[in-house]
Amino acid sequence: MPMPRRETHTECLDRLFALRRFGIKLGLATIRRMLAGLGNPHRQYPCIHVAGTNGKGSVASNLAEILKQSGYRVGLYTSPHLVRFNERIKIDGTDITDADIVRLYRRVRSALPPGREPTFFEFTTAMALDEFSRRRVDWAVIETGMGGRLDATNVLKPELSVITNISLEHREYLGRTLKEIAFEKAGIIKLRRPVVTGVRQPSARSVISQTAKRQSSPLFRLGAQFRVRRTENGRFTYYGMNHVWPDLATSLQGGYQAENAALTLAVCELLMEKAPRISLQGIREGLRMNRWPGRLELVCEEPLVMLDGAHNLAAARQLAHHLAEHFRDRDITMVIGILDDKPYQAMLRLLLPRARRLIITRAKINRALPPEKIAATAGKLVSDIRIIPEVGSALRYAMQTAAPQGLTLVAGSLYVVGEAMAALENAAVQPG
């Protein structure tokens, strides 16, 4: 009997992405059964669990790089990817390979329990947690997908949890108020495990404090137990529970990155007993070496092109502030596409006053807003508007027609940013 044909990398990804038709189903029963079928790999290594509305990717990648620079083998799981699926699962900063994807897909599929089909995120989470066990990582840094309490990653019992910040997002799944959303995020807090947070709103902060108290979990809050003070040239000093670390800098752009770094450093302080190789030298090097693409990232100098996901209201506000601070005198062309579950009108009102012209595009994902819907609001804010649905074509047009000293900015969705990055990498976009 002939051996069954082995699936190609592309076929495995096609089948994985097809799971998106099952939508988002929050809950832990299916992922627990999947991991049981794999031998519960997530119990084989210590981990850090990171949730929040914005900044969780920056904090997670900072932590992974610091642990790596301190001599640990580190797994990092984040989402979404920008260009290639492989980006979601990293070992020591390196994406898994195409061959790894085939192997992991086949392994998880063979362990699927009876019952409902897993969602795309459940399947990929199982792949990541299994790979970290196989590669024998010393530490894993795991970012939630959505919320926390019922997110597939919440099968973990982390050494420490992080909740970066909270704003209104995914309201159809997480709740209509900050208090309700905070309750979902606080679901990652585990019994007697410390939690670090940057949450500032009183209603959300109260929920996190109450959850931590109920779980007997020590709570460390930015602005209370630790703080950060910016100095000159983007540098900052961290004032922690037991340490003061002066003259630090991060490679990531944006004034808010000092606060993300402070959360990272509070975690490092708390981990030093269980990860004694963490040192100030490793911290400095990790912050300096970390890369987190698609967030205030300058990808081309002539013409000047910047990519920033700015995929929700809080991120749009941060981007508008950055533009006002650093690009006030630039002629800005914005290439924008937004998903249908985002407060697009409020996002546009924040961003478009900074733009001279607007090119509206659309990511390939089925949740993308029709450009005409964006244009109906944008027309009240910008007079020069063009619709170019394909992201690569929209970016090409923007670059070819940019003012000599202008800025082309791609924003509104990480999916749009990912397609723009892919177009740049494939040389499908060239300046005129």
Question: What's the CATH number where 310 sits?
Answer: 3.90.190.20
pLDDT at 179 over 70: yes
- Among the three residues 238, 267, 289, which one is the final residue of a domain in this structure? 289
pLDDT at 2 over 50: no
User: Quick one: 208 and 146 in the same domain?
Assistant: yes
Distance, in Å, from the CA atom of 144 to the CA atom of 109, rounded to the nearest integer, reads: 22
Distance, in Å, from the CA atom of 305 to the CA atom of 313, rounded to the nearest integer, reads: 22
Cβ neighbors of 88 (< 8 A, separation 6 or more) are 77, 78, 79, 80, 81, 124, 128
pLDDT on residue 174: 58
pLDDT on residue 267: 98
Cβ neighbors of 350 (< 8 A, separation 6 or more) are 313, 316, 317, 319, 320
Q: Is residue 201 situated within a structural domain? A: yes
- Among the three residues 236, 262, 289, which one is the final residue of a domain in this structure? 289
Query: Which domain does 326 fall in, by range?
Result: 297-425
Q: Is residue 431 situated within a structural domain? A: no
Q: Measuring CA to CA, which residue among 144, 222, 123 is closest to residue 186? A: 144
Q: Pairing mode, if any, of strands 384-387 and 195-197?
A: unpaired
Rounded-to-10 torsion of CA 216, 180, 310, 189: 20
User: Quick one: 349 and 245 in the same domain?
Assistant: no
pLDDT on residue 178: 86
User: Quick one: 320 and 237 in the same domain?
Assistant: no
pLDDT at 4 over 70: no
pTM: 0.91
Q: Is residue 430 situated within a structural domain? A: no
Q: How far does the chain reach from its first CA to its final CA, in angstroms? A: 58
Helix, strand, coil percentages in the chain from 3-state DSSP, rounded to 5: 45, 15, 40
pLDDT at 104 over 50: yes
CATH number at residue 15: 3.40.1190.10
User: Quick one: 91 and 216 in the same domain?
Assistant: yes
pLDDT on residue 22: 64
pLDDT on residue 308: 95
Residue for token digits 């137990």?
225
pLDDT at 170 over 60: no
User: Quick one: 262 and 378 in the same domain?
Assistant: no
pLDDT on residue 23: 67
- Among the three residues 289, 319, 349, which one is the final residue of a domain in this structure? 289
Q: pLDDT confidence of 3, banded at 50, 70, 90?
A: very low
User: Quick one: 171 and 305 in the same domain?
Assistant: no
User: Quick one: 88 and 191 in the same domain?
Assistant: yes
User: Quick one: 353 and 274 in the same domain?
Assistant: no
Task: Say if CB 177 and CB 203 are below 8 A apart.
Answer: yes
Residue for token digits 């007079």?
383
What's the structural domain count of the chain? 2
Q: Measuring CA to CA, which residue among 62, 215, 70 is closest to residue 143? A: 62
Q: Is residue 203 situated within a structural domain? A: yes
Q: Is residue 149 situated within a structural domain? A: yes
Q: Which residues pair with 196 in a beta bridge?
A: 162, 220
User: Residue 29: how many CB atoms within 10 A of its CB?
Assistant: 11
pLDDT on residue 171: 54
Q: Is residue 86 situated within a structural domain? A: yes
Kindly state the average pLDDT of the residues 260-284. 96
User: Quick one: 240 and 263 in the same domain?
Assistant: yes
How far is CA 318 from each of CA 94, 111, 315, rounded to the nearest angstrom? 29, 43, 5
pLDDT on residue 156: 97
